[in-house]
Structure 1
C-alpha cells in the first residue's frame, strides 16, 4: 500500500512537470523564434511480485509484475518552421530555411531563430538583450541605418559588402534552451551552406495553442486520477492502522 502511494506520487510529479512545460509554451506564444517543447514519460522498471506460503510454508507463487511509477524522460523541441510576419523593419531578420543565427554572449556562443535585432549607438547589430549577432568575420558592424541583407545573408551598406551572416545547423537532440529563445549545445555545429534570410520579417512562435489546450486537459485528468488514488490509499491505510489493529 505504501508503495502504491509512491507510485501515484510519481504520476503527480510527472503531470506537474508536463503542465509547467505546456504553460511555458503558452506564455511564449508571441515570442519570435520560440520553439514548442514537449515531454515524454518513461516507466520505472517493474518488479516481479511473489507470494510466500501456499499449501506449504516453503511454497513460492509468482503473482506478476508491479509497476513502480513514471517519470519525465526528456524534453523535445519542435523544429517546425513558424509563420513569417512582415515588419518592414530593416533590423528584423527571418530564417526561411533550417538553421540558427549565432550570437555571442558572456557564456560563449548561443543560437537563436529570434530575428528581432537592433542597431546600438555604435552601429553594431545586436539582440534585444545586447548580444552581438555574428557574421563570418565576427560581430557585425558598424552599420548605417540603410544597410541591407540579401537572401543568402550577405550584408551590404552604402554599396560595400560588410559581411555575411553566420548561420549554423545544430543537432536537434542536443539543443538546450536558455531563456526564451536562446539555445546552447555541447555538440559541434555545422555551418549552413544554403541558408536563406528574409529582411524586414521575423519568424513567429510555432506553438499550436489548440494543441496545447488539449494536452493541458489530458494532463489535468491524469493529475486528478493520481490524486484520487492517493486519497483512496490514504483512507485504506488509515483503516488498516485504526480499525484492523483493534481486532
Structure 2
C-alpha cells in the first residue's frame, strides 16, 4: 500500500514536469525560430510479485508484475520547420534548410534559428541581444544598408563577396536550450553543406498550439487521476490503523 503511494506520487511529479514543458512551449508560440520541446516518459523498473506463506514445500506462486513509478526521461527539441513570415527587412534572415545560425557570445559560439538580425553603428550584423552573427571568416561586416544574401548564404555588398554565413548542423539530441532562442551543443558541430537562406523573412515558432492544448488536458487528467489514487490509499491506511487495529 505504501509502495502504491510512491508510484502515484511519481506519476504526479511526471505530469507536473510535462505541464511546465507545455507551458514553456505555449509562452513561446510567438517567438521567432523557437523550437517546440518534446518530453518522453520512462517507467521505473517493475517488480515480480509472488505469494508468500502457505505450504513451504510448494513452489511460490507468481502473482504478476508491479510497476514502481514513472518519470520524465528527457526532453528534445522538435526540428520541424516553422512557418516563414515575409517582412521585407533586409536584415531578417530565415533558414529553409536544417541547421542553425552561429552567433558569438561571451560564453562561446551559440546557435539560433531566430533570424531577426540588425546592423549596429559599425555596420556589423548582430542578433537582437547584441551578439555578432558569424560567417566562415568571423563576425560579418561592416556592411552597407544595401547588402544582399544569396540562397546559399553568400553575403554580397557593393558587388563584392563579403563572407558566407556559418550555418551549423546539430542533432536534436545534442541541443541544449540556454534561453533567448539560443542553444549550445553537447557534441562537435559540422558546417551545413546544403544551406538555404531566404532574405527578408523570418521563421516563426513551430509550436503546434492546438496540439499543446490537447496535451495539457491529457496531463491534467493524469495528474488528477494519480491524486485521487493517493487520496484513496490514504483513506485505506487510515482505516487499517484506526479501525482494523481495534479488532
TM-score > 0.5 by shorter chain: yes
Q: Distance in 2 between matches of 1:197 and 1:43?
A: 42
- Asked if 2 retains the 8 angstrom alpha-carbon contact of 1:122 and 1:142, the reply is yes
Q: Distance in 1 between matches of 2:64 and 2:150?
A: 65
- Asked if 2 retains the 8 angstrom alpha-carbon contact of 1:15 and 1:223, the reply is yes
Q: Distance in 1 between matches of 2:210 and 2:171?
A: 28
Aligned residue in 2 for 1:173: 173
Aligned residue in 1 for 2:40: 40
Runs of 4+ in 1 over 6 A off after TM superposition: none
- Asked if 2 retains the 8 angstrom alpha-carbon contact of 1:148 and 1:156, the reply is yes
Aligned residue in 1 for 2:244: 244
Q: Distance in 2 between matches of 1:222 and 1:117?
A: 42
Deviations 1:12-43 (A, max 9, x none): 00001111111111110010011111111111
Aligned residue in 2 for 1:83: 83
1:183 Cα deviation (Å)?
A: 1.2
SS at match of 2:80: coil
Aligned residue in 2 for 1:94: 94
Q: Count residues in correspondence.
A: 247
Aligned residue in 2 for 1:105: 105
Aligned residue in 2 for 1:137: 137
Q: Distance in 2 between matches of 1:125 and 1:193?
A: 22
1:65 Cα deviation (Å)?
A: 1.3
SS at match of 2:15: helix
1:188 Cα deviation (Å)?
A: 1.6
SS at match of 1:177: strand
Aligned residue in 2 for 1:230: 230
Aligned residue in 1 for 2:205: 205
Unaligned runs of at least 5 residues, structure 2: none
Aligned residue in 2 for 1:121: 121
1:222 Cα deviation (Å)?
A: 0.4
1:227 Cα deviation (Å)?
A: 0.5
- Asked if 2 retains the 8 angstrom alpha-carbon contact of 1:50 and 1:64, the reply is yes
RMSD of aligned residue pairs (Cα, Å): 1.4
SS at match of 1:219: helix
Q: Distance in 1 between matches of 2:63 and 2:180?
A: 49
Deviations 1:122-178 (A, max 9, x none): 221111111111000001111122211111111112222211111111122111111
Q: Distance in 1 between matches of 2:241 and 2:38?
A: 42
Unaligned runs of at least 5 residues, structure 1: none
Q: Distance in 2 between matches of 1:17 and 1:57?
A: 48
- Asked if 2 retains the 8 angstrom alpha-carbon contact of 1:52 and 1:58, the reply is no
